[in-house]
Chain A
Amino acid sequence: MRFLTLGLLTLLSVGLLWVLDTHNPFGSPLPAMGRLLNPATGFWANAEAQGVFPDQKLQLPGLKKPVDLVFDERRVPHIFATNAEDAFFAQGYITAYNRLWQMDMSTRKVSGRLAEVVGERALASDLLQRRKGIVKAAENLLKAWETSPDEIKGLNAYVAGVNAYINTLKPAQYPLEYKLMGFKPEPWTALRSVLFFKAMAEDLCARNEDLAATNTRTILGEERFRDLFPEYNPKQSPIIPSEVKWNFAPIQPQPRVEMAESILSGLFPDKNIPQPFEGIGSNNWAVGPQKTLNGNPILCNDPHLGLTLPSIWFEIQLQCPDFNAYGVSLPGLPGVIIGFNENVAWGETNVGQDVLDWYAIKWADKDKQTYHFDGGTRQVETREETIQVKGRKEPVKIQVKYTHWGPLVFGDSTNSPYYSLAMHWLPSEDPEKRDHYEMASFLGLMKAKNYADYDAALTGYDAPAQNFVFAARDGDIALKVNGKFPIKRKEQGRFIQDGSLSSNAWQGYIPRDQIPQVRNPSRGFVASANQHSTDETYPYYYNGGFDDYRGRFINRSLEAMDSITVKDLMALQNNPHSLQAEEALPLLLKLLPRDQLNAQEKSVLKKLEKWDGNYQHQKTEPGIFQAWFDSTYVLSFDEITRWRDSVEVLSVESWRFLDLLDKTPNHDIFDWQKTKKTETAADLVLSAFQKVCKDLSKTPAQTWRSLNNASVNHLARIPAFSRTNLPISGHAQAPNAIRNGHGPSWRMVVELGKDGIKAWGVYPGGTSGNPGSPFYDHMVDQWAKGEYNELFFMRNAQDTRKAQQSVWSFSPKGR
């Protein structure tokens, strides 16, 4: 009896401990509660004391000489080293100190290693990432970076710094999310840094519309397709002003080849590739001395990305004899990506040029091992991918097939027995042999003293292509649409191409001296907002759909401005005015048959007529207008939108929609397919307006704040660690391009004075990635209000113009 009692008691006690020490016990979503709650190593240990950040002295293996890290009142690290490698080592250490889990997760995601730590629910995403061949591409890029001495030395020092930090960690100090999710940090590698860079490339230059365009053309027929989807907006205000002439002999691409009819039978049903978010981009500009009040150039940049906590950016100053640079870095990469030094400032926006094309592979054998190519056949290569899945005993293994074009992303379980689609993506190509690559481009900018240095730094940069804006204290301003761009014949890569013909390959690359660029234009400013790079005189084909309202509005604003101050440009960055609304509202109002409105509808109309196109968060007009606009759009293009659930289709660009409303309101596209009557634009505008008014009679109008729900979500979407429904005015087509979880991820303004640099900046996040730190989200409210921090660009470690919170001194260990 005693033994039985003892046995039961033992079972119960040990069982309790087991449950408390097991992540997701019995398949529940619960973390290991004992691990999480015990105050020795659980989440309590991540609760950071407010207002305390003590000085530290650390001995770290891998350093060459002592390094000082000075922390300012926002806990931004200012690193003072005697050589570049030590500076990057310290950057790696302090970035990992603040952002280790974020670094881990973002590289796991891109390389298809999420299921290893979160289990089945990430398997689909992992499989897709492996099929895209991202790891293979990263391995190839790392091999290239290894041939460039400065680049690899800097990267290795950074990796050593990250690992020096990881090696100090005891379980109690693991970042909170490791404890919640139940896994451990692992050593950082140079490959993971490159993978992070590939994640940026995927976010920025993997958008493609080949399938959608091919399907839409099949659905609409050639003539209507051309009518609805012109490639160039005549109102376009391109990045490079028209005064720039192209004084070179362009390389001529070979003529067009049609795809074999056998492939073109029907629609492409493959629909499982999530696309990067569309319709949001970035702004940057620089105004020359002749246009500013102080006679100094001013440079501004606000990159629009998915907004997350921890933030994608990490603010830092790096000083050593080679450079003294301040700005934002990416957690995972050494150096400053957007920032300034003592002489110059730089920033980036994304280039929309299409660098991802799909090729239809025609199989030559039943087992899909060989495919037709130029009259003969070619063999696929396979690479085995092994995915560890948490909760499974055996890993998942897949064979990814590669053609010479690229990987078969959909596998060969594609819906057609006759073809598979191979993906050709520029960042997956083997890098060309060069003296430096992307990372060294940023190093070059950090060291740059003038335009020539900027120019030289950018030559090694391939992808993701960026509009690099530049300003120097000597008065130069410039902008270069920089990257590796394939030469394509007109419309090449707009549609799926026949992969059995070598003539469908890209026709080489635009020579570096022929890429679009401008220096000190007569209008006194340079600017980009992801729109078309050039006007139509540029001799190379550009394919990249991007509504250009921001670009036109910013160019118009800067043209009109004079005696510009820093404050003026901050106001422009935060401007919630949508040129799209400004142009659309009068058109809709003009078309609306007023005599058919009832009293309630008239009162709604009266409200809208007074609206100025500013998406103020407190107002209800923006939401009413947006519903009217969107609803008219959907009714207008029912021929296309009804396909959306079954296959990928294109969306008519807003400018073309407005153009049709304006010039051809009787266009047969406005005829609603479901009815016998022949509708015109006016009918649809009325019908949409009445629908909106009817909704308003049922539920009161909502503010733009609640409709737009500007949010900065935690990377693992944990609501308690996220900030949602922020009061911020803006719209995807306004300079302040805030749309739900996307928007300005860093706002920076730099005045390059003769007596020195002054800069301001803010991002929607905080220095620390720890939700238990007061510095986790300390800049979010400030960012929402449109406020800036004056950036403390320290002259040296002893600079006390502003309060220093603490100093960490690193010294070498061992030897």
Chain B
Amino acid sequence: MIKNILSNLALALAYVVLPLFLPWWSVAIAALVFGYLATTGLRAFSSASSILALMWGMWAQRHNAPNAGLLAGKIGALFGGISDVELVLITAALGGLIGGMFGYLGYSFRQVMSKR
């Protein structure tokens, strides 16, 4: 249990720190490694996905709130009139998609390696 919480925290940290030094898609690498080490496929997928969704959603909102939705509203207008809050949710969902896919991919790698 404690191990799970710790690995989740490590993943959350990696999601935030890696893109400060590496390209934005380095979050996928974090998810991949996390999935490789995960105990079950469900956990690899759900944790990698939900944590990146949460991190991206919170991070986006942390930019959005002090800006009072000014920029997100304009970017939303570029994409057909999406509101700033919707754009935060879309950002979170995109994070969820990337995190989940690469988390599960990591898990699948280990499955293949260990069965060989």
Tell me the A residues contacting B by CB distance below 8 Å.
2-3, 5-6, 9-10, 12-13, 16-17, 20-21, 33-50, 52, 176, 718-721, 771-774
**Are A772 and B71 in contact, CB atoms less than 8 angstroms apart?**
yes
A179 → B minimal CB distance (Å): 10
CB pair B101–A13 under 8 Å, yes or no, is yes
Chain B residue with Cβ nearest A50: B68
Closest to B81 in A: A720
| Chain B residues proximal to chain A, CB less than 8 Å | 16, 19-20, 23-25, 27-28, 56, 59-60, 62-64, 66-68, 70-72, 74-75, 77-78, 87, 90-91, 94-95, 97-98, 101-102, 104-105, 108-109, 111-112, 115
User: Using a Cβ cutoff of 8 Å, how many contacts connect chains A and B?
Assistant: 108
Whether A17 lies near B108 (C-beta < 8 A) is no
| Complex Cα spacing A127 to B85, Å | 44
- Contact of A34 with B66 in the complex, beta carbons under 8 Å: no
Task: Check B59–A39 contact: CB distance below 8 A.
Answer: yes
B56-A38 in contact (CB<8A): yes
Given contacts A17-B98, A49-B67, contact A6 B109 (CB under 8 A): yes
Q: In the bound complex, what is the Cα–Cα distance between A44 and B65 (angstroms)?
A: 11
4 additional A-B residue pairs with CB within 8 Å, beyond A21-B24, A41-B23, A44-B63: A34-B94, A38-B56, A771-B71, A772-B70
Nearest A residue to B18 by beta-carbon distance? A40
Shortest A31–chain B CB gap in Å is 9
Q: How far apart are A778's CB and chain B's nearest CB, in angstroms?
A: 11
Chain B residues positioned under 8 Å from A17 (CB to CB): 25, 28, 98
Contacts A40-B59, A47-B63, A719-B77; A35 near B108 (Cβ below 8 A): no
What are the 6 tightest A-B residue pairs by CB atom distance, in nearest-first order?
A772-B71, A39-B59, A49-B66, A47-B67, A40-B19, A720-B77
In the assembly, what is the distance between CA of A555 and CA of B19, in Å?
62
24 contacts between A and B (CB under 8 A): A2-B115, A6-B109, A6-B112, A12-B101, A13-B102, A16-B97, A20-B94, A34-B98, A35-B24, A38-B94, A40-B19, A41-B23, A44-B60, A47-B66, A47-B67, A48-B67, A48-B71, A50-B66, A50-B68, A52-B66, A720-B74, A721-B74, A772-B71, A773-B70
Contacts of B71 in A (CB 8 A): 43-44, 46-48, 176, 771-772
Inter-subunit contact B24/A47 (CB<8 Å): no
Q: In the complex, what distance in Å separates the CA atom of A719 from the CA atom of B74?
A: 9
Which residue on B lies nearest to A718, using beta carbons?
B78
The one of B23, B70, B77, B102 in contact with A50, judged by C-beta atoms closer than 8 angstroms, is: B70
Bound-state Cα–Cα, A46 to B71, Å: 8
Q: What is the minimal beta-carbon distance from A188 to any residue of chain B, in angstroms? A: 25
Give CA–CA (A772, B75) in the complex, Å: 9
CB-based contact B67/A41 at 8 Å: no
Q: What is the minimal beta-carbon distance from A503 to any residue of chain B, in angstroms? A: 58
B104–A47 touching, CB < 8 Å: no
Given contacts A13-B102, A38-B56, contact A21 B63 (CB under 8 A): no
Pair A2/B111 contact, Cβ less than 8 Å: yes
Quick one: closest B residue to A44, CB to CB?
B63
Decide if A39 touches B98 in the complex (CB within 8 Å).
Answer: no
A44 CB contacts on chain B under 8 angstroms:
59-60, 63-64, 71-72, 91
SS of B interface (majority) = helix
User: Chain A: interface secondary structure?
Assistant: helix
In the bound complex, CA of A42 to CA of B64 (Å): 12
**B108 contact from A6, A38, A40, A48, Cβ within 8 A:** A6
CA distance A12 to B101 in the complex (A): 9
* Chain B residues positioned under 8 Å from A16 (CB to CB): 97-98, 101
Q: In the bound complex, what is the Cα–Cα distance between A599 and B110 (angstroms)? A: 88
The docked-state distance in angstroms from the alpha carbon of A21 to that of B111 is 28
| Distance between Cα atoms of A33 and B91 in the complex (Å) | 10
B-chain residues with CB within 8 Å of residue A721 when the two chains form the complex: 74
- Whether A720 pairs with B101 at a CB distance below 8 angstroms is no
Q: Is the CB of B67 within 8 A of A772?
A: yes
Q: Is the CB of B63 within 8 A of A39?
A: yes
Given contacts A52-B66, A771-B74, contact A39 B91 (CB under 8 A): yes
Q: With A and B bound together, what is the CA distance between A283 and B23 in angstroms? A: 51
Q: Give the Cβ gap from B20 to chain A, nearest Cβ, in Å.
A: 7
Cβ-defined partner of B75 (8 Å) among A34, A35, A43, A52: A43
A39 touches B60 (CB 8 A): yes
A33 touching B94, Cβ below 8 Å: yes
Q: Hey, which chain B residues are within 8 Å of A2, CB to CB?
A: 111-112, 115
In the bound assembly, the distance between CA atoms of A50 and B69 in angstroms comes to 10
Residues of chain B within 8 A (CB-CB) of A33 are 94
Q: A50-B68, A52-B66 are in contact. Are A39 and B25 (CB under 8 A)?
A: no
State the Cβ distance, A482 to closest chain B Cβ, in Å: 42
Report how far A21 CA is from B105 CA in the complex, Å.
19
For B70, list chain A residues within 8 Å (CB).
47, 50, 772-774
Q: Which of A21, A36, A40, A771 is packed against the most chain B CB atoms within 10 Å?
A: A40
CA–CA, A130 to B58, complex, Å? 48
Docked-complex contact B66 and A9, CB < 8 angstroms: no
Q: Which residues of A contact B78 (CB under 8 A)?
A: 718, 720
Known: A12-B101, A16-B101, A50-B70. A42 touches B112 (CB 8 A): no
Closest to B78 in A: A720
The listed residue with most A CB atoms (<10 A of its CB), out of B62, B70, B90, B97, is B70
Decide if B75 touches A720 in the complex (CB within 8 Å): yes
Q: How far is the CB of A49 from chain B (nearest CB, A)?
A: 4
CB distance from B49 to the nearest CB of A (A): 12
Task: Name the A residues within 8 Å of B60 (CB-CB).
Answer: 37, 39, 44
Q: Which residue of B is nearest A18, CB measured?
A: B25
Question: How many angstroms from the CA of A13 to the CA of B75 in the assembled complex?
Answer: 26
Enumerate chain B residues within 8 angstroms of A13, measured Cβ to Cβ: 28, 101-102, 105
C-alpha spacing A5/B112, complex, angstroms: 10
Once bound together, how far apart are the Cα atoms of A50 and B71, in whole Å?
Answer: 11
Which of A3, A41, A720, A721 has the most chain B CB atoms closer than 10 A to its own CB?
A: A720
Q: Which residues of B contact A45 (CB under 8 A)?
A: 63
Q: Smallest CB-CB separation from B64: which chain A residue?
A: A47
Taking CB as reference atom, which chain A residue is nearest B16?
A40
In this complex, the member of B62, B87, B97, B98 whose beta carbon has the largest number of chain A beta carbons within 10 angstroms is B98
CA distance A771 to B71 in the complex (A): 7
Q: How far is the CA of A16 from the CA of B97 in the complex (A)?
A: 9
Contacts of A10 in B (CB 8 A): 105
- Known contacts A21-B25, A35-B24; decide if A47 and B105 are in contact (CB<8 Å): no
CA distance A778 to B78 in the complex (A): 21
Q: Which residue of A lies closest to B67 (CB)?
A: A47
What's the minimum C-beta distance from A722 to chain B, rounded to whole angstroms?
A: 10
Q: Whole-angstrom distance from the CB of B65 to the nearest CB of chain A?
A: 9
A774 to B28, CA, bound (A): 34
